Amino acid sequence: MDVNLISSLTRWAIVAKERVDGQRLDQILELYSHLGHLPPDLRSLLTQIIALVDGSPEKQAPPAGVPEIEAPVNGASSQNIKRNDADAQECIDLIFHLHGVLAGSLAFSV
């Protein structure tokens, strides 16, 4: 196993844990595994790395002086839709980032 790959996976895990929670991270790995790009042994290694690194999703507080708006009970607010879109974009970005790390390492794999 290439040291640069381990380093890149560790960096990816740190970024991922800062952006999404553990459940979403598991879903990302599951999806990427189903696409055929994450063999079980590499997924196991990545899961170990994720468990070792520090990080937690940062909840962004609204700017000072701007009150939080709660979603209506009978429908989704535009803020909830935007947050869901942002969450989806975070997942897409993390999948592309992980693919870049792993695809770039294929030339070094044994």
Instruction: Report whether 11 contacts 97 (CB < 8 A).
Output: no
Neighbours of 25 (CB within 10 A): 21
Burial of 49 (0-12, 13-18, 19+ CB in 10 A): middle
| pLDDT, greater one: 66 or 15 | 15
Whole-model pTM: value is 0.63
Please give the structure tokens belonging to residue 105. Answer: 């390492």
Task: Judge whether 67 lies within some domain.
Answer: no
Q: What is the pLDDT of residues 54-92, one digit of tens each?
A: 655 555 444 455 444 444 445 555 555 556 666 778 888
Task: Judge whether 73 lies within some domain.
Answer: no
Count CA atoms within 13 Å of residue 25 on its CB side: 21
Task: Judge whether 39 lies within some domain.
Answer: yes
Q: Which domain holds residue 102?
A: 3-56+80-108
Total domains in the fold of the chain? 1
Q: What is the pLDDT of residues 89-104, one digit of tens each?
A: 888 888 888 888 888 7
Task: Judge whether 70 lies within some domain.
Answer: no
What is the pLDDT, as a whole number, of residue 82?
Answer: 55
Residue 109: is its pLDDT beyond 50? Answer: no
Phi then psi for residue 88, to 5 deg, are -65, -40
Task: Judge whether 68 lies within some domain.
Answer: no
